[in-house]
Amino acid sequence: MKAGNPQAAVQAAWLNDIDITPNDFPYIEGLLQRAFSVWSEENLPLFGLEEVSWYLIDHAGKILAEALDRPHAEREAASAAARQMLMLGEPGTIAGGDYSLAAAPVKTRQQGHVYAVMVSTADSDPVEAQLALTVQTAKHFGTCFYHELNHVFLSDLYNLRTQNEREAARWTALLQIVKRIHDKIDVSGVLNEVFESMSDIYPGAHLELLMTQDYQSSNLRVKPLHMNAATGEDKLCIRAYTENIMLSREKVSEKGARTLEIAVPLSGKQGVYGVFHFQIPGELGKDMDLQLVGMLADTAGNAFENAKLYEQSNLLIHELRLINELSRELSQSLQPSEVFEFATKELLEIFKADYCCISELTHEGDQFRIMSTNLETLDKEPFPVNYGICGLVHNTKEPLILSDYHTFKGVRSKIMDSTNSRSLIAAPVKLRGEVRGTILLTHREPHYFSYENYKLLQVLATHIGLAIANASLYEAVQHMANRDMLTGLYARHYLNSCVQKRLSTDSVGSLLVVDIDKFKQINDSYGHQVGDRILKQVCDIIKSSIRSDDIAARWGGEELAIYFPYMTAEDCLKVAERIRERVKAETDPKVTVSCGVGGWRSDQDRISVESLFFTADMALYRAKNGGRNRTEVGGFDGTSERLTP
């Protein structure tokens, strides 16, 4: 350092102020060992003291380094001498035996804390000279230690400066790329700019973008993301997509070539749209700035989302016009067949689908029937409510989109199999919150329908459902006329007509008549509102105890009747007993019922509706007179079977 250079003097003074504290002592072991190594190379052996052994011991009494390989007993003595010096805080000697020991502290610059001890062992006297030498050696070692400390500090400063320069260059490049990306308002332009920017920064990297089916691109580097893929690369991308995190790993080929693989999600505020897949060969991977890659991917995701939202706004305007026109056309017709045919035609045109099928639930609610389709070979006979795609939509009450039917492990579909279709979107047609039908649109190409198509079909299905509801209003009114408003059961005239039809077509059936015991006393004691509540409770128990094909009606007052198609009197008796026991256990206030069962078979004499009701009514009469809360089975030959609770 030159005396005439004030700046150098200030720098030297600043470096001399660098020091350690007792909090640093547990972490300086490596630094102490490097300083001892430097000291040993510069100063050993000392002239005239070649046989002196030197030990470096830390603040806790642990031997960190030694100049010569000495006996274990000597090493233990050196450690004990250091601990003694640490307690006393001053240099000292120990004489005795075949050698003498001297220990001197190594102290911090500013506070004078002892952070190490230098210990020497020698075979010769005098010990005073050995102690003086040890003290000077400790000071010299301290100089070597602080020289190493300054070197470490300056190295850290240099690395920090280099890192800051790289960070500044990275941010400059990132800002330029961000500006170029956000200048694009179309999705294709955003992705092309991202590919070009990535190629400029990492020219040796292989980059592709794996996208979900929501976006179709002509760019060869944009490929579909297969969620059921089995290869290792695809699994890395799938995990990055599902967890929305950047993942990386190093692969080594059989020939020893190394490749860095990175999967970065393309995500915005509304979701994840795809995954950038990098493959960087050889040494290029070591210079890969993963943080920069992540920031570029975040920028690309936000720009992609903004461009997509812009395109979606234009699409939304088009869809609103489309919905308005379709609703206007649908509202002009009140014939259900016309509504179905027009809806099929319009849906095929709107979605450019290959096939369309609109189905509706039957009045019984247990089957679907196809109301309109452009597939002439499709069988239009009713099919079970749980069958195929229609059954799946009916059970979940949710719309459905299939990217590839060939990989679908759920239900099978006749329309998909017969047309060799791969893509499908389906939506329920709801009426007052209940599924009354389904709309299926298919295409032979996989991944054909987008998420926008999926959402648009839901909206159109709502309007189609309203049109169907308006066209079916007359039928709904007729249906309401056949119901008892208080209990929700069918009216007596409807039950009579249904039984009349069943007697002419079926081979066996049963009629159960149920009467609430002492119902007049309930009305007199609790009032008619409680009586109505009891009546509804009994009706609810009956509804939950019979099949969907069974017909329950309010026969009159507190008397209820249920017709069981294809059920013998013996089986009807079991149902009657179950109803009777549930009524006794579940009603509040507690009531009981009496039941009369009448059955018929086609091998008997011809039976009429009146005779069947008479048989069941007589059985009920016997149950009432026999003590109530029981079931009687009437026979046409005058016999009966009595069951008591």
Of the candidates 74, 558, 559, 632, the residue annotated as catalytic is 558
Question: CB-based burial of residue 134 (10 Å sphere; 0-12 exposed, 13-18 middle, 19+ buried)?
Answer: buried
Amino acid at 415: I
Question: How would you label 84-109 residue by residue, b for 16+ Cβ within 10 Å and e otherwise?
Answer: ebbeeeebbbbeeeebbbbbbbbbbe
Phi, psi (deg, nearest 5) at residue 266: -95, 100
Alpha carbons 142 and 268: distance in angstroms, whole number = 57
With contact defined as beta carbons under 8 Å apart, do 559 and 568 qualify? Answer: no
Answer whether 308's CB lies under 8 Å from 294's CB.
Answer: no
| Selection from 637, 606, 633 nearest residue 512 by Cα | 633
Report whether 299 contacts 275 (CB < 8 A). Answer: no
CA nearest neighbour of 467 among 330, 361, 322:
330
Element (H, E) at 330: helix 290-331
DSSP 540-594: HHHHHHS-SS-EEEEEETTEEEEEEET--HHHHHHHHHHHHHHHHHH-SS---EE
Give strand ranges (E) for 169-315: 206-211, 222-224, 247-252, 258-267, 272-281
325 is catalytic: no
Helix (H) or strand (E) holding 359: strand 355-361
Residues 448/413, Cβ–Cβ less than 8 Å = no
**Cβ atoms of 76 and 56 closer than 8 Å:** no
351 CB burial (10 A radius; 0-12, 13-18, 19+): buried
CA 511 from chain center: how many Å?
52
Which residues are annotated as catalytic?
Answer: 558
